[in-house]
């Protein structure tokens, strides 16, 4: 099996689902991770989480990129997990210019790169400005928008990854490359609970133990009381938005896909509009239960594909 070269662009360290997604990408044999870059807000903090997770996984062959830093956009909800860990400690390569690393990785790849974006995309907007030719050797897979349904099944509205840094999202989703997205319609209903969640929570794999440590830190800093956080930790995951984008990088089998013209409005909504960019949109599930089983199988596997 020829593996798909991928770059992960992530705002890890805000919502915990990015950390789940990093664990998932590392345990997917279809994907060849070439670079992981922190995006949006306090990107050095985010990069420290990436680096420590990669080191825990024994994947220090994967370079870490530090994306563009912004003030006043970051909740340091997993800071206790990386307390005392510095990027200088990472045995692998750290690119201080994460945008440049994205460009170089795409432009020098002998095979087209799948760019998986699971947060706001100021890095990608800047990459397109610096080197528009990246569209010729990459495709975009993202967790973005709300088409027919919004958060908690409500009517569609502003989704966070689009509403924040909207001009960069407009640039990324309208660029001349193949675009696939999972909007809230499909990613907003993915939760592990019951036996599925317990199988992951009790897995002794170091990556999953690190994931659970991050989940505990995140819960404790998300406004819940200690008892409520402990109860949640023992019973279910948060909403795992970003894991659907990881899946879409290598398969669409379990999803209902529609080719739709999507326009990102100036106020951060994703609307079906004939003037929009035509893209592949995961609008519904064929087999959500099977997807959950796949997540459990992957996450609890003791095998992490190497370079």
Question: Within the chain, what is the greatest distance between any pair of CA atoms?
Answer: 52
Res 307: pLDDT: 53
Note the pTM of the prediction, 2 decimals. 0.96
CATH code (residue 11): 3.90.245.10
Token pair 């089998």: residue = 253
- 109 assigned to some structural domain: yes
Assess if residue 229 is contained within a domain: no
Query: Which residues lie closer than 8 Å to 263 by C-beta, 6 or more apart?
Result: 270, 271, 272, 273, 275, 276, 277
What integer pLDDT is reported at residue 222 of this predicted model? 78
Do the domain assignments include residue 17? Answer: yes
Contact between residue 134 and residue 107 where contact means Cβ atoms under 8 Å apart: yes
Do 238 and 191 meet the contact criterion of CB atoms below 8 Å apart?
Answer: yes
In angstroms, the CA 246 to CA 97 distance is 24
Q: Is residue 218 domain-resident?
A: no
pLDDT, position 170? 98
Q: Is residue 12 part of a domain?
A: yes
Q: Is residue 205 part of a domain?
A: no
Count of structural domains within the chain: 1
Please report whether residue 71 resides in a domain: yes
What's the domain range around 141? 4-188+239-283
Q: Three-class SS string for 220-266?
A: HCCCCCHHHHHHHHHHECCCCCCHHHHHHCCCCCCEEEEEEEEEECC
One pLDDT digit (tens) per residue for the chain, 307 residues: 799 999 999 999 999 999 999 999 999 999 999 999 999 999 999 999 999 999 999 999 999 999 999 987 778 899 999 999 999 999 999 999 999 999 999 999 999 999 999 999 999 999 999 999 999 999 999 999 999 999 998 999 999 999 999 999 999 999 999 999 999 999 999 999 999 999 999 999 999 999 999 999 999 887 777 888 889 999 999 999 999 999 999 999 999 999 999 999 999 999 999 999 999 999 999 999 999 999 999 999 877 776 5
Taken in order 169, 174, 179, 180, the sign of the CA dihedral is positive
Q: Looking at the domain assignment, is residue 293 inside a domain?
A: no
Distances (CA, A) of 180 to 136, 177, 221, 226: 16, 10, 33, 39
């Amino acid at each position: 099996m020829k593996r798909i070269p991928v770059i992960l662009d992530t705002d890890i360290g805000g919502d915990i689902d990015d950390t789940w997604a990093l664990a998932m990408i590392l345990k997917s044999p279809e994907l060849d991770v070439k670079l992981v870059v922190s995006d949006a807000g306090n990107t050095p903090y985010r990069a420290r989480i990436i680096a420590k997770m990669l080191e825990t996984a024994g994947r220090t062959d994967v370079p870490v990129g530090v994306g563009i830093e912004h003030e006043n956009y970051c909740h340091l909800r997993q800071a206790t997990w990386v307390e005392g860990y510095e990027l200088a400690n990472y045995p692998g390569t750290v690119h201080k210019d994460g945008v440049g690393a994205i460009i170089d990785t795409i432009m020098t790849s002998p095979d087209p790169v799948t760019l998986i974006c699971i947060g706001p995309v100021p890095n990608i907007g800047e990459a397109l400005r610096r080197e528009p030719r990246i569209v010729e050797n990459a495709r975009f897979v993202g967790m973005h928008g709300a088409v027919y349904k919004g958060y908690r099944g409500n009517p569609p509205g502003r989704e966070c990854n689009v509403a924040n840094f909207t001009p960069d999202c407009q640039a990324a989703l309208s660029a001349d490359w193949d675009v696939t997205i999972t909007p809230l319609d499909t990613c907003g209903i993915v939760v592990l609970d019951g036996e599925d969640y317990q199988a992951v929570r009790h897995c002794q794999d170091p990556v999953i133990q690190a994931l659970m440590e991050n989940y505990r830190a995140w819960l404790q800093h998300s406004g819940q009381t200690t008892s409520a956080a402990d109860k949640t930790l023992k019973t279910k995951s948060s909403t795992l938005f970003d894991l659907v984008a990881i899946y879409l990088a290598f398969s669409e089998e379990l999803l209902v896909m529609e080719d739709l013209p999507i326009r990102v409005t100036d106020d951060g909504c994703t609307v079906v509009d004939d003037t929009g960019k035509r893209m592949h949109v995961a609008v519904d599930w064929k087999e959500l239960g099977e997807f959950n089983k796949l997540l459990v199988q992957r996450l609890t596997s003791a095998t992490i594909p190497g370079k």
